[in-house]
Structures are given as C-alpha cells and as structure tokens.
C-alpha cells in the first residue's frame, strides 16, 4: 500500500491585524480593526481576536463595527506591508519543501510527504513551521495536518488562533460528520440550501447518502461530494511561483565605458539577486543582462542555465561574457542590470549530481545568514 500523504494547510491568524499588533506593541491585547474607518462607508478587512469577542468579523460594514466596539483601534490597511510579510512567510514554508501552493495572501498548502525523511513526521514539520514563523516573523499561524488538502484545510480552522490540529485517517469521518455541508468545497449558498431542504444538513448526512439520490440536487458532482464528505480528496498540491522575476539595476552618476567598473557592478547585481533567490528559496532557469547606452538605447541579452540556479557565480559568468561581447568603448553605458527569470523552487535532486553546486549553495547560505546577523558589510567573500 502507498504511504499516506502528508499535507499541511497553514493559515495566519488575524493576518493584517496581527501584523499591526506586532509592529505597534501598544495595540496588543486590544480590539484592532483593519479597513475603512468606523464613520465612513466601507468594510472591515479583518480584526484581531480581541475584536471578535464584540461580534466583529471580516467584511462587516465599518459603521456596524463602530457601533459594536466604539473604543476599538481602527487602522487603514497597508497592502504593501502585508504582501511583503506574505512573501517572508512563503519563504519560510519553502525551507521545508518546494511543494508549496499559495492560496491567498495568508494561506498555503504544503505537501511534506517527501520531506518527512529529513525533518520528521508531518506533525513535527508543522511544529517547526509554527515555531519559525513565530520566532522569525513574530506572528502566529494555525496549521492543519492530514492526508489531503480538504482535510488539512478543515483542520487548520478547528483550533484558531495558534492551533495545530491533526486529523488522523481513522478519525476523518467522525471529525467531518458534525460540520455543516457548507464546509464542503464547491458547496456555495445555493447548493447548501438545496441540500438542506432535502435533509442533508451535516457532512455526516452526506457520508451515508447514495450518490444517485443526490444527482437531482447537485448533478454530476454527486459522487465527488460524497467522496469529500468521507474525507477523500486526491487533488495534488500545485506548486506555483508568484514571483516572476528578481532583478537589480544601477544607473551610473556619469556614463561610463570602464569595463572593470561595469563588471564589478554586474557582480554586485549577481550577488544581490542570488541572495534574494536564496531568501525566497527559488532558483532561476534563465537570466538577462540589461544595458542602457548614453543615448537611452536599451538592449537585453539572455542566458539559459543547464540547471536552475541561485548561485551568484552561475548567474554572473555567462552574462559577463555577454557584456564583453558588446564592444563597450564605442558608446558609453548609462545603466546596467541583471534579472533572474523563469523562477522555480530549487531541485534538491539536481544539486546532488553536482556536489560543488551544493557546496557553494551552503556556503552562500552561511554567508547570507552571517550578513543578516552582522550587517551586509561585515563579511565579504573572496572576489568581492
Ligand atoms: P483570513 O485568513 O480569512 O482571515 P484572518 O487571517 O484575518 O483571520 P483568521 O485568523 O480567521 O484566519 O484572511 C486573511 C487576510 O485577508 C485578512 O487578514 C484580511 C484579508 N481579508 C480581506 O481583506 N477581506 C476579507 O473579506 C477576508 C475574509 C480577508
Ligand atoms: Mg488567516
């Protein structure tokens, strides 16, 4: 028999509000609403758990919230800050497996089936993820652990905030049974009303149902819904990379034809981009060199790597050759840039075939960690 999959669902607690409480200690322990102000039209995006005791929730009109909790703290959303936080959290998740599927700004699925031999069983990995998010980002997450996506998502919601909930294979039907049919994927208000009208109120009611009897209500989805109700869901975690490219560029104070200066600047870009790739745990399949001449004419030159890389030397060398091909000297350069493209989670297996790449990766990671601790000027690698 195939081993049971290890699927995690990670969902941050009161995400926008928790970030504000982290950044403003004076808001901690208090009802915090993020969204439109209480005296204006508009809604609350989310609120802290302290505010939920007043009956406030996401998508509630701000004026209603204002009546329920007049002395609460009302803050405008800072979308940029939340998106940046989301990327930091995803980077932590990708340390445990490349199989990460971001679902929204504060939630993701992970398939840790193959990571278990490295990090411990799925529950242990869930614990480690929660601890890292807490220590590195100062935020709490709720994590669900199960054998598939549907169950993991149900699980992460069962003990919020700061929860870690496991749904074991042998318990899955019993855990699902009391929940409303509205919790099943694909069951919106209309389908739920139709099901309830015919006596299917809980998931337990559907577990016993004959798909033939459901067909008039939900059509071709009948069998699928009964499977879900019984905790069966074969959908894979779909790895997607939302960052399309990572780049760095520099405009010189005065236009230059100094090849050494151009190369040194390009190396600086390669270092910066490689560091960001490692931070986001991504590797590039290709990279481009961008040159803008004094007359603003702009060219790009692309290189494709034999293997996806997050290594500065690998990024730099082919582009240095492209730069040399450009016969700098006839026209001066105004800007030079380097962009890593076609990003994907690095393949651990591929690295194993090239031990020197893996060694360089580890050295680079160690340098990054030290730099983060000591400040970027504190340590320089040979050749910097
Ligand atoms: P959720 O995960 O639904 O909510 P949450 O993280 O605030 O709280 P919980 O502990 O229950 O998970 O959504 C994540 C973020 O998305 C949330 O912080 C704000 C934003 N959001 C909206 O802007 N509008 C909405 O209607 C919802 C539901 C969320
Ligand atoms: Mg959340």
- Closest ligand 1 atom to the C-alpha of 17? 18
Would you say residue 380 lies in a domain?
no
| Residue whose CA lies nearest to ligand 1 atom number 12 | 13
Assess whether the C-beta atom of 158 lies below 6 angstroms from ligand 1: no
Assess whether the C-beta atom of 69 lies below 6 angstroms from ligand 1: no
pLDDT value, residue 306: 86
Would you say residue 126 lies in a domain?
yes
Would you say residue 383 lies in a domain?
no
Would you say residue 67 lies in a domain?
yes
Q: Give me the CATH number covering residue 295.
A: 3.30.1490.100
Q: Which residues surround ligand 2, an ion (CB under 5 A)?
A: 11-12, 15, 106
| Secondary element (H or E) of residue 84 | helix 79-93
Would you say residue 235 lies in a domain?
no
Stretch 341-356: mean pLDDT: 62
Per-residue pLDDT tens digits for 178-197:
999 999 988 888 899 999 99
Per-residue pLDDT tens digits for 247-274:
999 999 999 999 999 999 999 999 999 9
Residues 252 and 358 in one domain: yes
Would you say residue 237 lies in a domain?
no
Q: How many domains does the chain have?
A: 3
Is the pLDDT score of 20 beyond 60? yes
Stretch 25-54: mean pLDDT: 95
Per-residue pLDDT tens digits for 121-161:
999 999 999 999 999 999 999 999 999 999 999 999 999 99
Residues 117 and 189 in one domain: no
Domain boundary, last residue among 117, 136, 168: 168
Residues 287 and 354 in one domain: yes
Going by pLDDT thresholds of 50, 70 and 90, the confidence category of residue 379 is: low
- Looking up tokens 């069962």 gives 158
Q: Give me the CATH number covering residue 119.
A: 3.30.70.270
Average pLDDT taken over every residue of the chain: 90
Residues 20 and 151 in one domain: yes
Question: Mean pLDDT: which of 220-234, 239-253, 322-336 is highest?
Answer: 220-234
Of 78-87, 207-216, 330-339, 357-366, the poorest mean pLDDT is in 357-366
Assess whether the C-beta atom of 48 lies below 6 angstroms from ligand 1: no
Is the pLDDT score of 280 beyond 80? yes
Residues 76 and 133 in one domain: yes
pLDDT value, residue 353: 45
Residues 23 and 101 in one domain: yes
Across 39-65, b (16+ Cβ under 10 Å) vs e yields eeeeebbbbbbbbbebebeeebbbbeb
Residues 16 and 142 in one domain: yes
pLDDT value, residue 105: 87
Residues 220 and 259 in one domain: no
Q: Are strands 73-75 and 32-35 parallel, antiparallel or unpaired?
A: parallel
Q: Give me the CATH number covering residue 201.
A: 1.10.150.20
For residue 234, give the 3-state DSSP assignment. Answer: coil
Would you say residue 82 lies in a domain?
yes
Would you say residue 106 lies in a domain?
yes
Q: Is 107 a catalytic residue?
A: yes
Is the pLDDT score of 213 beyond 80? yes
Residues 208 and 262 in one domain: no
**Domain of residue 70, residue span:** 1-168
Per-residue pLDDT tens digits for 46-77:
999 999 999 999 989 999 999 999 999 999 99
Residues 58 and 203 in one domain: no
Residues 273 and 300 in one domain: yes
Is the pLDDT score of 376 beyond 60? no
Is the pLDDT score of 380 beyond 90? no
| Secondary element (H or E) of residue 338 | strand 333-344
Residues 58 and 133 in one domain: yes
Could you give the CA distance from residue 20 to residue 9 in angstroms, rounded to a whole number?
Answer: 23
Domain boundary, last residue among 168, 198, 221: 168
């Amino acid at each position: 028999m195939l081993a049971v999959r290890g699927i995690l669902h990670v969902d941050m607690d009161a995400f926008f509000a928790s970030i504000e409480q982290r950044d403003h200690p004076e808001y901690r322990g208090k009802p915090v609403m993020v969204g439109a102000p209480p005296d204006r039209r508009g809604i609350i995006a989310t609120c802290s758990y302290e505010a939920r005791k007043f009956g406030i929730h996401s998508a509630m009109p701000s004026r209603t919230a204002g009546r329920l909790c007049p002395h609460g703290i009302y803050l405008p959303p800072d979308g940029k800050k939340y998106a940046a936080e989301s990327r930091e959290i995803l980077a932590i998740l990708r340390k445990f497996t490349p199989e990460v599927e971001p679902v929204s700004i504060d939630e993701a699925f992970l398939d840790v089936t193959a990571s278990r031999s490295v990090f411990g069983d799925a529950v242990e990995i869930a614990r480690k993820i929660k601890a890292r998010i807490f220590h590195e980002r100062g935020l709490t997450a709720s994590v669900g652990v199960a054998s598939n996506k549907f169950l993991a998502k149900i699980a992460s919601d069962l003990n919020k905030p700061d929860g870690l909930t496991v749904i074991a294979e042998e318990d899955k039907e019993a855990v699902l049974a009391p929940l409303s049919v509205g919790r099943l994927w694909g069951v919106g208000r209309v389908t739920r009303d139709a099901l309830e009208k015919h006596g299917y109120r809980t998931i337990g009611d559907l577990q016993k149902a004959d798909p033939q009897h459901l067909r008039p209500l939900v059509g071709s989805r009948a069998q699928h819904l009964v499977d879900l109700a019984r905790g069966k869901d074969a959908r894979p975690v779909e790895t997607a990379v939302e960052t399309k490219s990572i780049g760095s560029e520099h405009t010189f104070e005065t236009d230059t034809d100094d090849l050494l200066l151009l190369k040194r600047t390009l190396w600086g870009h390669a270092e910066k981009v490689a560091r960001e790739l490692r931070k986001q745990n991504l590797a590039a399949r290709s990279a481009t060199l961008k040159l803008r001449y004094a007359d603003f004419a702009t060219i790009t030159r692309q290189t494709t790597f034999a293997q996806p890389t997050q290594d500065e030397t690998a990024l730099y060398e082919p582009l240095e050759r492209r730069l040399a091909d450009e016969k700098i000297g006839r026209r001066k350069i105004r800007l030079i840039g380097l962009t890593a493209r076609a990003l994907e989670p690095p393949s651990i297996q591929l690295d194993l075939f090239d031990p020197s790449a893996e060694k360089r990766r580890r050295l680079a990671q160690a340098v990054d960690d030290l730099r983060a601790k000591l400040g970027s000027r504190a340590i320089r690698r040979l050749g910097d």
